[in-house]
Homo-oligomer: A and B are copies of this chain.
Amino acid sequence: MERLTSRENEQIKYLSRLMRSKRERRAAGMFVAEGARLCAEALENRVEVLKAYLVPGALERYPQLARALTKTPCDCVEITPELSNRLSDTDTPQGVYCLCRMLDNGPHTVKIDTDGQYLALCGLQDPGNVGTIIRTAEAMGLTGLILAGSCPDIYSPKVLRSTMGSVFRLPIRVAGDEAVLLQEARAAGVKSYAAALHRQACLLPGTGLGPGSLVLIGNEGNGLPDAVVQACDAPLMIQMPGRAESLNAAMAAGIIVWEMARARLSL
């Protein structure tokens, strides 16, 4: 196995840049998965893994990763614990990194189908929120997720980590413009809902979010822009019997996605 020990090594410098910069990732069409679980998920799903970088003993410590590497072999490179500590985004790194090709530059995009159920995140700020929403949307069997406006990069270490690997399974599209998305939904006969605290909003429960629905979630602090709310078919609000005025954006998204699963499966 190839062995790297110097922090001046070009591969290490490349990995480090990919982990720290969205621009580098987008330019290269590559990203780095960190951690045994995330790397195993990348290998087990449809991610093209170009190289795995491991500290000594990692394969013995993480059998799920070792199994995944047996099933989908790729070049393995040994790195020192010191290099791993320098690369890592976490306090207690596991010493496992995979260099991967992005999905959303390739076939990993989302088409709006008549019978699909979609969530669109518009201008969210918090990487943990985006990751958690992706994880929940995948758990609830959504057709796809769209990132509109300016959202955290799904290939940043923080988002990747909080998706727990579901980012490799859920179809995701990174698209800038809400207007284009809404046009596409309308053309497909998919009804669009804007999550908004609005007096005339459709209420959850009570609004069927079954096949053929798209829900837009806005920014943590400001919600969706008025123009986007207007452009959707209807505003949508979660009933809150208590006195709180609103929910955390990720929580609202989670409850909406849960209701979409209930509607689709008649749960």
Chain A residues within 8 Å of B, Cβ to Cβ: 128, 132, 135-142, 162, 164, 166, 169-170, 205-206, 238-244, 246-248, 250-251, 254-255, 258, 261-262, 264-265, 267
Contact among B137, B170, B242, B261 for A239, CB-based, below 8 A: B261
Given A139-B241, A254-B255, 6 further pairs, Cβ under 8 A: A139-B240, A139-B242, A139-B246, A166-B242, A239-B267, A255-B258
> In the bound complex, how far is the Cα of B258 from the Cα of A261, in angstroms?
14
- List chain B residues, Cβ under 8 A from A262: 205
Contact among B136, B141, B248 for A162, CB-based, below 8 A: B248
Query: Is A132 in contact with B258, judged by CB distance below 8 angstroms?
Result: no
Query: Is A164 in contact with B206, judged by CB distance below 8 angstroms?
Result: no
Query: Is A136 in contact with B261, judged by CB distance below 8 angstroms?
Result: no
Query: Is A166 in contact with B265, judged by CB distance below 8 angstroms?
Result: no
Query: Is A267 in contact with B139, judged by CB distance below 8 angstroms?
Result: no
Query: Is A251 in contact with B254, judged by CB distance below 8 angstroms?
Result: yes
Contact among B166, B205, B243 for A138, CB-based, below 8 A: B243
Query: Is B258 in contact with A139, judged by CB distance below 8 angstroms?
Result: no
**Shortest distance between the CB of A112 and any CB in chain B (Å):** 19
> In the bound complex, how far is the Cα of B207 from the Cα of A220, in angstroms?
32
> In the bound complex, how far is the Cα of B251 from the Cα of A244, in angstroms?
17
Query: Is B205 in contact with A267, judged by CB distance below 8 angstroms?
Result: yes
- List chain B residues, Cβ under 8 A from A205: 262, 267
- List chain B residues, Cβ under 8 A from A239: 261, 265, 267
**Shortest distance between the CB of A242 and any CB in chain B (Å):** 4
Task: Decide: A244 near B164, CB < 8 A? Known: A206-B267, A254-B251, A267-B205.
Answer: yes
Contact among B132, B169, B240, B261 for A251, CB-based, below 8 A: B132
- List chain B residues, Cβ under 8 A from A140: 240-242
> In the bound complex, how far is the Cα of B241 from the Cα of A241, in angstroms?
28
> In the bound complex, how far is the Cα of B135 from the Cα of A74, in angstroms?
46
> In the bound complex, how far is the Cα of B165 from the Cα of A244, in angstroms?
8
Query: Is A247 in contact with B139, judged by CB distance below 8 angstroms?
Result: yes
A-B contact pairs, 23 of them (CB 8 A): A128-B128, A132-B250, A136-B244, A136-B247, A137-B242, A139-B241, A139-B243, A139-B244, A140-B240, A140-B241, A140-B242, A162-B248, A164-B244, A166-B242, A169-B242, A205-B267, A206-B267, A238-B258, A239-B265, A247-B254, A250-B251, A254-B255, A258-B258
- List chain B residues, Cβ under 8 A from A254: 247, 251, 254-255
- List chain B residues, Cβ under 8 A from A242: 137-142, 166, 169-170
